[in-house]
Chains A and B, each alone.
Chain A
């Protein structure tokens, strides 16, 4: 992309427009967190026009999905939204399992719910912490990271990797969780509200934080729907829509929680929605961990979609055959030749996969519906008329993850 900015923007000619000037923002800029680039047209300090330029992290995720089988692709899916990796896995397997018509076991559903909510807390912590950091509040960021590290530990305990767990498999999980993991989650649920309170006490009545976020980047309800917003951003604008309630997937029917909404649609409302959602997530985790059903985490091995356990591979001929069938690249899963769209409520909004299967073990096409991508498209609408320093506030409240944005 040439850095000749002038022709990237169609500034209307004419003498009355001549005082406008152009500012390049990014792609390597601390406040963009990752690799976003904005070309701003300014009138003094006021933004007249903003043109986002993305693709600085485009790495061909969707093309890779056409070359890796359903289980292998989980490692790539993880890296899409790296703030909430397991939520991505849940969305991917929601599509795969819908395609193959697999009913998960109750224990697996509960564990997935717990992970989904942990990821929601994780994502919102980073979003709120980093937003505070960008606006000058370093302490909130440190508090948030402290809690984040605890979630990392929980992921590490379950799967062995703290950052990209790759914990899910078709029809179940990599392995069952153990007692220590359950205790860790219990401890987290117990301690989290206190840490949450610390962050709230730092920010909610903080004059600087409020002045810099209130009435900044307002998105009305109609606009939010028209621009395809979902998740916390739409809810902060008053759209009452949460896939956990509207189209309950996994075991969300069993839990008691509220959908947090706000009316204002500005950065502060988005921050408040995120903060309150964390507590609701904490409530869900609490209910799930106390009622965790016993039983297997994988569906029955006879269904020929999950890997048989190691013992049966070594000790029985059926197990060996199952394993062989799933591993050999010319056998694997027998899927219907059809296409399916499945979506979940990820921390960032509706995260969907449109999966086209051609009957083999490798997807023919994996299309992600990336919430970050769609939310970043709203940015030009939000920022016009505000000051340059508000760019940071709005970006922070949108929670753009570059890897999901560019894929």
Chain B
């Protein structure tokens, strides 16, 4: 199945204006509203054979030129039999950025979703164990957001000091 056939199938199934598509170099993207993400991904996995979730990531579009939504989440899907790649993309917004979890479809999404949550605070609805993964549990901000300074807010200096005589 080529990309065009898949997109046509999706159009048939979900209606012509359910999503928009864009193409850049060899990347083919399907842009969806967040409500429809889960059903489309499920359809792609079950009926179109996209069995590998190659990558799941997020970004904060706060200062991006002409951006309308704040957080983007993308899924790079691969059909391991035919080798077709497809990128599904969705957007979500403050105050409670939420995206449905695809853990029930691909178990590999587990940690990747936790990472996006850790870095951006995007909540994945239905994830079985959504905790911080890379940063300490007590960390209160989401460091990859564009309004968080690169050098942090002083967390890295905030430890007791051990000197020679006392050790």
Contacts and interface: CB of A to CB of B under 8 A. Distances in A.
Contacts of A64: 150
B27 A340 contact: yes
Contact-size category for B: 35 or more
Contacts of A67: 150
A399 interface: no
A374 interface: yes
Interface stretch (A72-80, A131-139, A256-264, A362-370): A362-370
B65 A337 contact: yes
A376 B83 CA distance: 24
A288 interface: no
Contact-size category for A: 35 or more
Interface stretch (B2-10, B54-62, B158-166): B54-62
Contacts of B12: none
B108 A1 contact: no
Interface string A328-364: 0000000011111101000000101010101100001
Contacts of A303: none
B144 A62 contact: yes
Contacts of B153: none
Interface stretch (A24-32, A83-91, A220-228): A220-228
A54 B110 CA distance: 14
B136 A377 contact: no
Contact of A54 (B74, B106, B134, B137): B134
B90 to A, nearest CB: 14
A376 B108 CA distance: 10
B70 to A, nearest CB: 13
A226 B106 contact: yes
Contacts, number: 108
Nearest to A352: B55
B83 A1 contact: no
Which of A62, A226, A241, A352 counts the most B-chain CB atoms under 10 A from its CB?
A226
Interface string A198-238: 00000000000000000000000001011111100000000
Given A55-B133, A374-B108, A377-B111, A228 B53 contact: yes
A1 B138 CA distance: 8
A341 B87 contact: yes
Contacts of B57: 354, 367, 369
Contacts of A58: 134-135
Given A336-B24, A341-B76, A377-B110, A55 B135 contact: yes
Contact of A247 (B76, B83, B107, B133): B83
A340 B132 CA distance: 27
A229 B106 CA distance: 11
A141 B119 CA distance: 38
Contact of B55 (A336, A354, A406): A354
B55 A60 contact: no
A99 B119 CA distance: 25
Interface string B95-116: 0000000000011111110010
Given A63-B144, A338-B24, A343 B54 contact: yes
A55 B134 contact: yes
A227 B27 contact: no
Interface in B60-93: 60, 63-66, 74, 76, 80, 83, 85, 87
A250 interface: no
Interface string A15-47: 000000000000000000000000000000000
A239 interface: yes
A356 B143 contact: no
Nearest to B45: A226
Contacts of B64: 356, 358, 364
A3 to B, nearest CB: 12
Given A247-B83, A374-B111, A406-B134, A369 B54 contact: yes
Contact of A98 (B25, B51, B133): B25
A407 B143 CA distance: 13
Q: Which 7 A-B pairs rank lowest in CB-CB distance, beginning with the nearest?
A: A228-B108, A55-B134, A369-B55, A367-B57, A377-B111, A58-B134, A365-B59
Interface of B: 24-27, 51-55, 57-60, 63-66, 74, 76, 80, 83, 85, 87, 106-112, 115, 119, 132-137, 143-144, 150
11 contacts: A1-B137, A2-B137, A54-B133, A55-B133, A226-B51, A228-B112, A229-B108, A230-B52, A336-B24, A337-B66, A369-B54
Given A55-B135, A62-B119, A225-B52, 15 more contacts: A54-B134, A55-B134, A66-B150, A225-B51, A228-B106, A228-B108, A246-B83, A247-B83, A337-B66, A340-B24, A350-B54, A352-B54, A359-B65, A377-B111, A407-B134
